[in-house]
């Protein structure tokens, strides 16, 4: 497999996908995509699919990459089958997964990616690479047929992970929420991906890339910090 799972579309005050473009270009350079890149905008709620496609296309064009959105194709399944790379944007994970189920694309995308088609996702697009979407941060909640996702990796993902507690905040921290999840699901592992980081995943390893440390959470060992360029699989 060949996955790039980004925490977010922005890091700090950078522009849209600005921090991610070098990683995206390097990721796609490993394969002969011939600019036959399929974008899936189903996570978009506050932005229409046409506008979302234009936003991502403009960013990708800075690296000489062209894409088309799945909603512009007459047949979504054919678009997935013919794609040389699949890009899934962020937004609402529930809406994204629900749309994938409605279009009967879960198994097809999973098969394509397991056969070697490069996959890039950020935020919600990274969430669905996990076994389930049960560690998403998102609202509103739309109820898909199942919370089971693509299962391209064995661990859960929490994008936009923020370590610590903002001053004056009296609600649960992200770490506490993940700890609660692991109390109910003690056999799972959760990767906390701070903004600016990503996982570069192949069949044998999941490397943390970016400019910050990440975190792995388990029921028995709690929270562990992961250094940049570490292999997540060594902690599983």
What are the b/e assignments for 71-83, b being 16+ CB within 10 Å? beeeebeebbeeb
Cβ-based neighbour number of residue 94 at 10 Å: 22
Q: Quick check: is 123 catalytic? A: yes
Query: Dihedral angle at the C-alpha atoms of 33, 129, 45, 21, nearest 10 degrees?
Result: -40
What is the spatial distance between Cα 114 and Cα 118, in angstroms, rounded to a whole number?
Answer: 9
Question: Is residue 138 annotated as part of the catalytic site, yes or no?
Answer: yes
163 is an active site residue: no
Q: List the catalytic residue out of 160, 206, 218, 230.
A: 160
> Exactly one of 123, 126, 206, 218 is catalytic; which is it?
123
Which residue in 138, 206, 218, 230 is the catalytic one?
A: 138
Cβ-Cβ contacts under 8 Å for 17 (sequence gap 6 or more): 9, 10, 24, 56, 59, 60, 122
The tokens describing 90, both together, are 């962020």
Contact present, 93 and 65 (Cβ < 8 Å):
no
Q: In what order do the strands lie in the sheet with 214-218?
A: 156-158, 189-192, 214-218, 222-226
Alpha-carbon dihedral sign for residues 9, 13, 16, 18: negative
CB proximity list for 33: less than 8 A, separation 6 or greater: 84, 85, 118
Find how far residue 144's CA is from the centre of its chain: 18
Q: How distant is the alpha carbon of residue 164 from its chain centre?
A: 22
- Residues with active-site annotation: 123, 138, 160
């Amino acid at each position: 497999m060949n996955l790039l799972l980004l925490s977010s579309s922005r890091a700090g005050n950078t522009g849209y996908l600005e921090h991610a473009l070098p990683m995206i270009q390097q990721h796609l350079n490993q394969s002969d995509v011939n600019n036959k890149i399929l974008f899936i905008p189903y996570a978009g709620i506050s932005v229409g699919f046409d506008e979302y496609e234009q936003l991502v296309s403009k960013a990708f064009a800075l690296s000489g990459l062209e894409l088309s959105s799945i909603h512009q194709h007459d047949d979504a399944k054919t678009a997935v089958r013919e794609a040389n790379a699949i890009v899934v944007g962020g937004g609402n994970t529930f809406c994204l997964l629900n749309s994938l189920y409605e279009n009967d694309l879960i198994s097809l995308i999973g098969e394509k990616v397991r056969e070697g088609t490069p996959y890039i996702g950020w935020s919600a697009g990274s969430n669905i690479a996990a076994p389930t979407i049960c560690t998403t941060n998102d609202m509103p909640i739309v109820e898909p047929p199942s919370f089971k996702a693509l299962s391209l990796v064995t661990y859960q993902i929490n994008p936009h992970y923020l370590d610590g507690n903002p001053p004056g905040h009296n609600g649960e921290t992200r770490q506490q929420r993940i700890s609660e999840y692991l109390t109910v699901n003690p056999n799972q592992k959760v990767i906390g991906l701070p903004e600016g980081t990503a996982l570069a995943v192949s069949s044998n390893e999941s490397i943390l890339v970016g400019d910050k440390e990440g975190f792995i959470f388990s029921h028995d060992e709690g929270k562990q910090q992961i250094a940049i360029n570490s292999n997540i699989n060594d902690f599983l």
